[in-house]
Amino acid sequence: MGHPNDEPTPLLSPGQVGESLRLCGVLGANLLTDQKQGQMPEQTPDSQNQTAGAQDGTQQGGVTPTSNPVTATIALTNQREAFALLGTGDVNLRRMRELTRARLIARGETMTITGEEADVQAAERMIKDALDVVRGGGELTPDSLLRSARMSGEGRSLAAETQVGSLSLPRGIRPKTPGQKVYLEKVEKSDITFGIGPAGTGKTYLAVAMAVQALRNRRVKRIILTRPAVEAGEKLGFLPGDLQAKIDPYLRPLYDALQDMLDQEKFESYLTSGVIEIAPLAFMRGRTLNDAFVILDEAQNTTGEQMKMFLTRMGFSSKVVVTGDVTQIDLPRHISSGLAVAKRVLSNIEGIEWHEFTDVDVVRHPLVGRIIKAYETAENAEQDKRAARRGEFASIPEVDTDPVGADD
């Protein structure tokens, strides 16, 4: 019972009772509708991230599951082959994963590829081509994998296009690009070969390798390496020491290449006995070079007279290789490059082969190729501007090819 002094609770009027019932009915109907539609409660930020991840369907490793995943397996011969393919610390495997959308798993002597059918097929072609390089005795690196992937995407094979057959170079040296293979073939069959191209394409290194191979096979009796002693854009001033010490800085790249291919003791013995001679171009005047493999490096820095002098030193049973890069001429502006003159004068002479490398043949750091390409683009644009200023792009009036009276 209530307290005797409490006031009685007021009763609801009939109108208020009806309104309360109506509101209850609306709320109940809304709740029922939400349950039927399966509406979820409000998500927290963490649950929202989880839901987004589930909708993206992305698994660890960046592989997107497919409705119908395909799997391919590649069997390796042994652990040695697996190590050569995957690289030290799996460096090649990491590069392969960067180059494909498929998922690659290497366990023991098996490579497993999983993903969409097109991705799996592309990855399988890339790996099989890389495996062919390894089985052919070539060295597989992250950089060569880039070339292999690019060529396999074009339906070509890096392994097939860099095989040199019976040609055996010192220290297992092999061409790393199709362009290098063609260059070696031209050097092998021609008495004079010009190799022109940007830095890092191996034009001098491969020529030295061919010279060492020819000496070992007794096809020549000596190797002569020469370069013009031209400063590369800066003045070196007085250099201390005797004549050999003064010219050595200009010839150092040739020494480095030879020391890569010969034991130090044999290299020094060849230098002492004159079997290998490294000298500046000026020392070639007045000589006849018989039974020799002669290499002229940095030929873009020769004058026209020097190039003519050098080429006419060639004697019997000799082979000559000339290498250079016409984009790195260090001569004064008013002097024409002997390499450019030779290209214009000798391009149609039988017995002389020409090979031009491109940025695709660069085998140094991948950035080198992109740097070369960027400079080429900038230089071409500058040449177009200069030509436009001279009016070379002005419209040329049509000329009657058979004017009246032309035969009179």
Judge: domain 170-364, CATH 2.70.240.10: no
Judge: domain 70-161, CATH 3.40.50.300: no
Cα–Cα distances (Å) from 198 to 324, 362, 369, 396, in that order, read: 8, 8, 9, 35
Q: What's the pLDDT at 240?
A: 65
Assess whether the region 70-161 and the region 170-364 belong to the same CATH fold.
no
Q: What's the pLDDT at 311?
A: 96
Q: What's the pLDDT at 407?
A: 46
Give CA–CA dist 37/35, Å, rounded.
6
Residues 6+ apart with CB under 8 A from 112: 71, 72, 73, 104, 105, 106
Q: What's the pLDDT at 406?
A: 46
Phi/psi of residue 347, nearest 5 degrees? -65, -25
Render pLDDT for 190-207 as a digit per residue (tens, 0 to 9): 999 999 999 889 999 999
- Say whether pLDDT at 105 is over 90: yes
CB atoms within 10 A of CB 58: 13
Render pLDDT for 52-94 as a digit per residue (tens, 0 to 9): 443 443 333 444 554 688 999 999 999 999 999 999 999 999 9
Confidence tier at 231 by pLDDT (50, 70, 90): low
Render pLDDT for 235-261 as a digit per residue (tens, 0 to 9): 445 556 665 666 677 778 888 889 999
Q: What's the pLDDT at 399?
A: 45
Which tokens sit at 201? 């394409």
Confidence tier at 373 by pLDDT (50, 70, 90): confident
- Say whether pLDDT at 213 is over 90: yes
Residues 6+ apart with CB under 8 A from 168: 213
Q: What's the pLDDT at 17?
A: 47
Render pLDDT for 310-333 as a digit per residue (tens, 0 to 9): 999 999 999 999 999 988 888 888
Q: What's the pLDDT at 237?
A: 52
Domains of the chain, residue spans: 70-161, 170-364
